[in-house]
Structure 1
Amino acid sequence: MSLIDLRSDTVTKPTQEMLNAISNAKLGDDVYQDDPTANHLEEKAAELLGKEDAIIVSSGTQGNLISILAQTSRGDEIIIGDKSHIYNYEAGGAMVLGGTSLYPIPNNNYGSLEINDITNAKKNDDFHKPRTKMLALENTHNLAGGKVLNISEIEKISSKARDLSLSLHMDGARLFNASVYLGVEPKKIASYFDSVTFCLSKGLCCPIGSIIVGGKDFIHECRRWRKMLGSGMRQLGIIAAPGVVALDSMIERLNDDHENAKFLAEGLSNINGVIIDPEGIQTNIIRFSLSEKITKKSKNIIFELMGKNILLNPSKNDFRIVTHNDISKDDCKYFLLSLSEILKN
């Protein structure tokens, strides 16, 4: 049988329509800004998110880094969640390359930040201290299990950020999962932020790429930073072509991934030894743990799943499953049956 890869939605393969689009893409040189397919995707992304302009970058990590570099200076500081992707999984790039420090405050169980924590994190105008310039949020939130920040929560936090004269950035790697879950247009979510990044290569199934959106002056500055970081790309239409397909046809189907995630969570809750709250599943990420007795054998469980053509990331006891376009309902059923059999033994 085919491989069932539940490690991440980054493992998605491009659709046949995307491959056809790559083959037929009209190309130019994006450093000269005359690649028609890249220009079309950037215009499309900006319009979809209600911003003036957009720029294609190689990854979400690069998109977040460039967004920070374009809006801060050396010695500045960013308020950020302690469970955020930027803080935990982006190699400290803002600190290393931008001289911008990251000040972590606690993410709650929903991936959000408490207003009092934001207020207390803002530094006074004191030459002993870094200047607090930005607040960054993540939506959906990976380490919170794909939780979604709703509009009222975003409004509350953005209002406080404005009161504190902070620019506001959103790591929207899975922004469209959030918009589908909330039933709102992505531009509604993006409207509260100065800069937004989103990934093409996760649930949208593109082989590579992310996009930054924001104001024209901001994107102009991003273009300079992208060049400085070595990511000025030439025939960028090769990357952009599947992105156009994704924005046209892959967003609404994310709801299928959400439904499969709920199905998996319900099934996991019925397996003896699995600890999970199925009611907490909102999008395409499921996090679960195992009872103490079983945890000691977690490495063996991962290897046994591999023997059944199922890939899952190893963990001490915080397992993550991510549903995506290449995972069917039958795949979900097979995984549940396989895990149940393994845990029984």
Structure 2
Amino acid sequence: MIDLRSDTVTRPSSGMLEFMMKTSVGDMIFGEDPAVNELEHMVADMFGMDAALFCPSGTMTNQIAIKAHTRPGDEVICSRMAHIYQFEAGGVAFNSGASVALIDSEDGTFTAEDVREHIHDPEDWHKAYTRLVEVENTVNRGAGACWDFNELRRIRELCDSRQLGYHLDGARIFNAMTTDGRKPAEYGALFDSISICLSKGLGAPVGSLLIGNRDIIQQGIRLRKVLGGAMRQAGYIAAAGIYALKNNISRMTDDHRNAASLADALHQCSLTEKVNYGGTNMVIFTLKPGMSAIEFLEKIRAKGILALKTGERSIRMVTHLDVSDGQVTKACEILASL
């Protein structure tokens, strides 16, 4: 099967498995796991931030960040497409007691002016207190759309002027940097906290990190415990993250090139109405009336391709390190012929 459902389906390579098995481990809670410590220092240094916190998932790192930035009754400004709103099980409300102010846009990005329009007057006792702005780069629901870095700077300036926190859900930030050419330290200089995922395009089996200033990470240590994310001999999975960061960033250009090829093939497909390609490793397309996503998925599954339903007539395809150039060529031939 050519599995294009998600970049989360990757499996550790033989090199990664060998690296994991050779690592030294200790008790992470006692601060004695050398691989976890190395990974946290490596990522904090990479982004030029004070410290990092290793967690099991990106949902956990996002939820820890939101809780650290807010108090119950506060409001978080984000896109309606944001992962923290769409795919984290209502965690903003459940874990932080916060509400969300949603910004609508075509691809999940927005402007500083959009943010300004959603900030409540702190003297208006009828409104939730605006406390945090959250952005996601790249945007999952936006077909892997990449933010305009200068717009992110303008939002930073607005956050500073209004004393708002600024959090980046950077689950696929390395895909974004592969496209925009920015360095990790440039993103680290913009945000108060950043979540990065190791188990998507980087190819590790599990794990995410929250990066931020010492205050946020100190709060994060306690919050990770509250959420059940404190692990013991976690060095084996931390080692996978170290290997991924050292070996799997530069190859992301292959995934982007393959996704662009899929987008071209889908434009040729007689069953598609609209194709969205954000310039990274994702394509989301809408089918013409009369063809449901379920029917289309059954049709391509019979030909050896897996993809993900995102709506009644919409489907997502994601390229990753476990899909070869040859498999993508074959998938393109099949899609273009439908």
Pick one of 135, 138, 141 that aligns with 1:137.
135
Q: Are 1:225 and 2:220 counterparts?
A: no
Q: Are 1:326 and 2:322 counterparts?
A: yes
CA distance in 2, matches of 1:51, 1:285: 29
Pick one of 289, 294, 299 that aligns with 2:294.
299
CA distance in 1, matches of 2:35, 2:203: 18
Q: Alignment identity in percent? A: 37
User: 2:30 aligns to what?
Assistant: 32
CA distance in 2, matches of 1:270, 1:195: 42
Q: Are 1:117 and 2:114 counterparts?
A: yes
SS in 2 for 1:191: helix
Contact 1:111 1:149 in 2 (8 A): no
- The number of equivalent residue pairs is 336
Pick one of 10, 13, 17 that aligns with 1:12.
10
Question: If the length of structure 2 is used for normalisation, what is the TM-score?
Answer: 0.95
User: 1:41 aligns to what?
Assistant: 39
Q: CA deviation at 1:310?
A: 1.5
Question: Which whole-Å deviations, capped at 9, do the CAs of 1:248-291 have from their partners, x for residues lacking one?
Answer: 1111111110011111111221222323457x441001111122
1:271 maps to amino acid: C
1:219 maps to amino acid: I
Pick one of 327, 335, 338 that aligns with 1:339.
335
What's the C-alpha RMSD, in Å, of the aligned pairs? 1.5
User: 2:97 aligns to what?
Assistant: 99
Question: Which deviates more from structure 2 when the two are superposed, residues 74-83 or residues 59-68?
Answer: 74-83
Could you tell me which runs of 5 or more consecutive residues in structure 1 were left unpaired when the two chains were aligned.
Answer: none
Contact 1:13 1:207 in 2 (8 A): yes
Q: CA deviation at 1:113?
A: 1.7
Q: Are 1:287 and 2:279 counterparts?
A: no
Contact 2:142 2:278 in 1 (8 A): no
CA distance in 2, matches of 1:29, 1:62: 20
Contact 1:179 1:189 in 2 (8 A): no
Q: CA deviation at 1:7?
A: 0.4
Question: If the length of structure 1 is used for normalisation, what is the TM-score?
Answer: 0.94
Q: CA deviation at 1:233?
A: 0.4
Contact 1:111 1:148 in 2 (8 A): no
1:114 maps to amino acid: T
Question: Which whole-Å deviations, capped at 9, do the CAs of 1:59-92 have from their partners, x for residues lacking one?
Answer: 1111100001111111111111111111111111
CA distance in 2, matches of 1:172, 1:79: 16
Could you tell me which runs of 5 or more consecutive residues in structure 2 were left unpaired when the two chains were aligned.
Answer: none
Question: Which deviates more from structure 2 when the two are superposed, residues 165-174 or residues 16-25?
Answer: 16-25
Contact 1:261 1:281 in 2 (8 A): no
SS in 2 for 1:136: strand
2:109 maps to amino acid: S
User: 1:69 aligns to what?
Assistant: 67
CA distance in 2, matches of 1:193, 1:255: 25
CA distance in 1, matches of 2:219, 2:137: 24
What does 1:154-233 correspond to in 2, within 5 Å?
A: 154-233=152-231
Contact 1:261 1:284 in 2 (8 A): yes
Contact 1:76 1:130 in 2 (8 A): yes
1:254 maps to amino acid: M
